[in-house]
Structure 1
């Protein structure tokens, strides 16, 4: 029998899925999981995802890490850096630890852990092939967890789930309407993801472009610019592929 694949289009829907026997893929295209992949690709020692600004500051002080994150798309007060992948080039991040908190993505990651997820990885367009290769090799059930926006379904995370499904549909049993919706949306958008987001005036496109972050959006919708697989283990995300 093929393993199953389901898609949770919002953190509010995650309790409906059995994550205890699944690999959970945290998807937050704009921008947490894109930034995580980029930081690790550029040589960060690890990324520590936390669910509050206060904890981010506390851990950053303890380990002399880089404290970073956002709330509502802007750098959170008290943190050194934001959630843009362009803030973490190799010459800055290599060999360092990034402590990261975001509005949606890191919150969903901790929710999945609290619900007993068997394994947690993070995915985005930026590391699409690495995610798909890993899931195909593991042959375990998968839940694609879209971080959405404050529990409201968003287009970009749904598109990324659809892109994963498009590549893996033959390897999994998919009896899940959310997955079919995601795949259908991706089929409509795949030729020009940025153009699709702009044409639809997607909420997060509208929000970030209003902050002058159109370059971030274009980068985060570009496949395989940061080909690593972030895997969560003992409080950290690393690109260690030795975890079986």
Structure 2
């Protein structure tokens, strides 16, 4: 290992929330990745003018906080709108004319859970293909250790979050010291499929799960780079656009 590599910050990939305890969260920037669909919806809502997104772990908390704040309550369980909530987890629900200047309280099956698990991180941001460039630019500029945290599906590794982690690595690896097999695997997966992401995702379990509900348009959007290229950062219990 060269002197230059030793001085570079580390980058690791956590393929599932069940593995987060194996990573040194303190002192790291943790990127929460839940491509289908939480982190894609979060950046889209903020891009379209939401003042903040408040991620919560449970549906009752979502309902309670939404009532207290007069906010929009939204979320899903197993890919469908959760009972008791007004809206779901589709980025297409949060157009500018609907969400601008409003607060969104959001709970999801996987993404919001991982975010709360990573609460001891130095910084928490959220990443997805719609804000790929914003994530990469920010991580390069910060020069801090990074953990790319995949929300997965009920602790089982999934294809889309791993692909996104690989997409990030392929763009920023020159700025980091990567000594992590999960990161290498994610980059290899992405690099070998970069030109056919939409195609290979039709084989993924979560694609099949969402396609049953007619959500192919959501999936296509969530796999397309830079459609909502802002950087959500978690501060004081809420996600806002990083300044």
Shorter chain as denominator, the TM-score bin is over 0.9
Q: How many residues are paired up?
A: 237
Deviations 1:66-120 (A, max 9, x none): 000000000000000000000000000000000000000000000000xx11110
Question: Which residue in the other structure is 1:236 paired with?
Answer: 238
TM-score by length of 2: 0.97
Question: Which residue in the other structure is 1:55 paired with?
Answer: 61
SS for the counterpart of 2:195 is coil
Question: Which residue in the other structure is 1:13 paired with?
Answer: 19
Please report the RMSD computed on the Cα atoms of aligned residues, expressed in angstroms: 0.5
Hey, what's the Cα distance between the residues in 1 that align with 2:192 and 2:98?
Answer: 38
Question: Which residue in the other structure is 1:148 paired with?
Answer: 152
Alignment map for 1:1-244 (pairs within 5 Å): 1-113=7-119, 116-198=120-202, 201-241=203-243
> Where has structure 1 moved over 2 Å in runs of 4 or more?
none
Hey, what's the Cα distance between the residues in 2 that align with 1:61 and 1:207?
Answer: 31
Hey, what's the Cα distance between the residues in 1 that align with 2:40 and 2:112?
Answer: 12
Hey, what's the Cα distance between the residues in 1 that align with 2:183 and 2:90?
Answer: 28
Deviations 1:154-206 (A, max 9, x none): 000000000000001110000000000100000122102111111xx100011
TM-score by length of 1: 0.97
SS for the counterpart of 1:70 is strand
Hey, what's the Cα distance between the residues in 2 that align with 1:86 and 1:189?
Answer: 26
Deviations 1:119-155 (A, max 9, x none): 1000000000000000000000000000000000000
Deviation at 1:208, TM superposition (A): 0.5
Hey, what's the Cα distance between the residues in 2 that align with 1:126 and 1:15?
Answer: 28
Structure 1 gap ranges (5+): none
Deviation at 1:4, TM superposition (A): 0.1
